[in-house]
Each structure stands twice: as C-alpha cells, then as structure tokens.
Amino acid sequence: MTVKDMVYAALFAALTAALGLLPMVAVPGLPVPIHAQSLGVMLAGGVLGAKRGGLAMLVFMALVAAGLPLLSGGRGGIGIFLGPTGGFALGYIPGAYVVGWLIERFWSRLNYFSAFIACGVGGVGVVYLLGIPWLALVAKISFTKAATGSMAFIPGDLVKAVVGAIVAVSMKKAYPMIRR
C-alpha cells in the first residue's frame, strides 16, 4: 500500500462523508432513509478500483464506528452497525470493492453502459444483498417485507448508478494516470 493509495482512500472517505451532509428523506414504514451516500460507494469503486475503493469505504466505516457523525442525519457510533441500517452500512465496503473489480474488468472497453452495470451490481446489488437480510433480522420483519420496502429506493439508486458511471468513464478519459 503506497502513500498515494492511502491519500486516495482518505479523499473518497471524505467525499462519502460530505455526501452525508445532503438532506435525507425518511421513508414511511422503514427505518432506512433515502440519502446520497451510496453514491460515494459507486464513486470510490468506479474511480479508485477495487482495492483502493474498498479501502476508502473501510476507512469511512472505521470513522463511523469510532463515533464520528458521518452518516446521513449526523449518525455515527458502533450502534449503527447493530441497528436496522447496519447491513446496508457494512455493505459499502464490499460494494465499493465489487464496483471497482468490475470497472477493472471492463477497463479496456469501459463505456457508460458497462460502468452503469458495475455501479448497479456493486453499489446497489451488493449493498442490498447485505442490507435487506440484516434489516429483516433486526427490525423483526419478514424478508419479503424488507425486500419489498427496499424497492422504494431502487429508482434513486439507479440514478446514482448513472451518475457514478458518468464520473467513472469521465475520470478514465480525463485522468488516465489513475490506473488500476
């Protein structure tokens, strides 16, 4: 791990924290708010790649666990991971890794569609794969109810995946030195 890797990881952890400053929207009946921070997962993986993107989210989650109020709504502390949103939060780490891994696989032929797929699979799919079962378990609701309720977030997450794809492809064109 180079100093440059650590600086990039810290930068994208900070970017994800800054996205938490945007107002969140509560969804009636679910303890999970709509927020912009999942875009940070897609940006970290899409721009930095698997290793550095996953590291960026690991740094971000370590800061949250340490008690810094970096999650949307000014939330932080180890209790976040034990609550209903804990699975989604922990999903940021593998989510960014998977986005980056897919971007790296598509790198030589990266376009907006392949970048969108990478952001959707990692930044939405992986995060939901961990978040929905955890939500069902902690909130004591059925998996079906947790999954159905989470569908309210899909349109916004797909918009974030489009933004993440545009940024990833633009960064490849503008800054080819951020190689994998």
What is residue 174's predicted lDDT score, i.e. its pLDDT?
A: 82
| pLDDT band per the 50, 70, 90 thresholds, residue 179 | low
Spatial distance between the Cα atoms of 113 and 1, rounded to a whole number of angstroms: 31
- What pLDDT is attached to residue 138? 96
- Residue 176: pLDDT above 70? no
* Mean pLDDT value across the chain: 92
The answer for residues whose C-beta is within 8 angstroms of residue 122's C-beta and 6 or more apart is 41, 42, 45, 94, 95, 96, 97, 98, 99, 100, 101, 102
CA–CA gap between residue 92 and residue 106 (Å, rounded): 21
pLDDT at 24: 75
In this prediction, residue 12 has a pLDDT band, given cuts at 50, 70 and 90, of: very high
CA dist 104 and 63 (Å) reads 27
Mean pLDDT on 140-162: 93
pLDDT at 25: 77
The pLDDT of residue 169: 94
Which among 86, 150, 154, 92 is positioned nearest to 123, based on CA atoms? 92
Tens digit of each residue's pLDDT (9 = 90 or more) over 43-62: 999 999 999 999 999 999 99
Q: By the 8 A CB rule, do 46 and 99 touch? A: yes
Mean of pLDDT values over 152-159: 91
